[in-house]
Amino acid sequence: MIKIEHLDKTYHLKNANVRALNDVSLQIDKGQIYGIIGYSGAGKSTLVRCLNFLEIPDSGSIEIQGFEKITSNNGVLNVKGKKLRELRRSIGMIFQHFNLLDRSTVFDNVAYPLKYTGLSKAEIEKRVDGLLDLVDLADKKYVYPSQLSGGQKQRVAIARALSNNPKVLLSDEATSALDPEATESILNLLKDLNQKLGITIIMITHEMSVIKTIAKRVAVMEDGCVVEQGDVYDIFANPKKEITKRFIDSASALSNVDQLVEHHTISSNRIVKLTFTRDSVGSATISKISRDYKIDVNIMLANVDYINADALGGIVASMEGKDEDIKNAIEYLNTCSVKVEVIKHV
Ligand code: ADP
Ligand code: MG
């Protein structure tokens, strides 16, 4: 488990102070894939840099599975030297721009962190070969980074990050520079590694589609604060904060609804968005309300997402009928665990 408590970090610039982390507390279970999402400047990179102590928080504490709790007091840690190096070694990190050594081969890049670990040449070679197998790059052992695609470069970076058998892998926008296909293959690889090695993965991203594909839990960051956190499915089904809704819209086929409403001459005066969660997604609710309440339901957009293998459905529809009947139909939908949001009501 990783336990982050009351983390604060302010950068002091010439003309201003930037509070990059503002009382951040999070708990991440061992072996979990945990997503942290936020727009640029939210404080995500500062948080991961604090997690492996590339950056020293001003205050707060971090406890990482198997190590004693580290506390910062006015930017001074209660642990240093060998203990801190050991802790750092148990955390691997990958970045948006791979950070590979361009003049070294794939083999040398992956072997680099093993340099001063006391392993023999033969042991290092064996370890690196195993890692290259793991990321499916055995045939690129003596190739230079410039000869690799973006996805392959990130695979090298992943192998390098795993070289010291870390317990935790921090991924800071690791798919943000990749095309959709490479992104998918890297996310699949990370999922695979998570299952095979039981490694805890913290995925920092500004893309909700990444969270949806890979994470079990998510924290949403804004202006240095965690503004919302929870199970990814629950957050998608029932986002509380405006910023979370925006992120979800960016990963949902139903986000076209605004344009649809704006640009089409839709005669209907009432347009609703219905969200069907795992408790209601399979039932014939639409035909039932249409029959029982004598209203016409015209489906304009519909979509089913799978999040952590659970279905989440959405429908945008117009409703025609008597006001009283529509009101009763909406009340009925609410009792069936269908969330109803009125998008337009003239
Ligand atoms: P994110 O990764 O979410 O884009 P960052 O953690 O990089 O956010 O940045 C959070 C805030 O802290 C931003 O306003 C950024 O400009 C500022 N910041 C980050 N690193 C530094 C630094 N080394 N010096 C000064 N300000 C910084
Ligand atoms: Mg960043």
pTM check: above 0.85? yes
How far lies 167's CA from each of 92, 157, 306, in Å?
Answer: 8, 16, 28
Residue 188, φ and ψ in degrees, nearest 5: -65, -40
Ligand nearest to the CA of 24: 1
Nearest CA to ligand 1 atom 13: 41
Ligand nearest to the CA of 96: 2
Q: Give residue 213 CA to ligand 2 midpoint distance, Å.
A: 20
Average pLDDT, stretch 268-274? Answer: 84
Ligand nearest to the CA of 18: 1
Q: Give residue 301 CA to ligand 1 midpoint distance, Å.
A: 39
* Banded pLDDT at 267 (limits 50, 70, 90): low
Q: Tens digit of pLDDT for each residue in 106-120? A: 999 999 999 888 899
* Banded pLDDT at 207 (limits 50, 70, 90): very high
From CA 326, how far away is CA 289, in angstroms rounded?
Answer: 9
Report the residue among 18, 24, 36, 96 best suited for mutation to probe ligand 1: largest number of ligand atoms under 8 A from its CB: 18
Q: Which residues line ligand 1 (CB under 6 A)?
A: 11, 13, 18, 20, 38, 40-46
From CA 172, how far away is CA 40, in angstroms rounded?
Answer: 12
Q: Is the pLDDT of residue 174 over 80?
A: yes
Report the residue among 12, 17, 37, 46 best suited for mutation to probe ligand 1: largest number of ligand atoms under 8 A from its CB: 46
Nearest CA to ligand 1 atom 23: 11
Q: Give residue 40 CA to ligand 2 midpoint distance, Å.
A: 6
From CA 289, how far away is CA 259, in angstroms rounded?
Answer: 27
Average pLDDT, stretch 253-262? Answer: 74
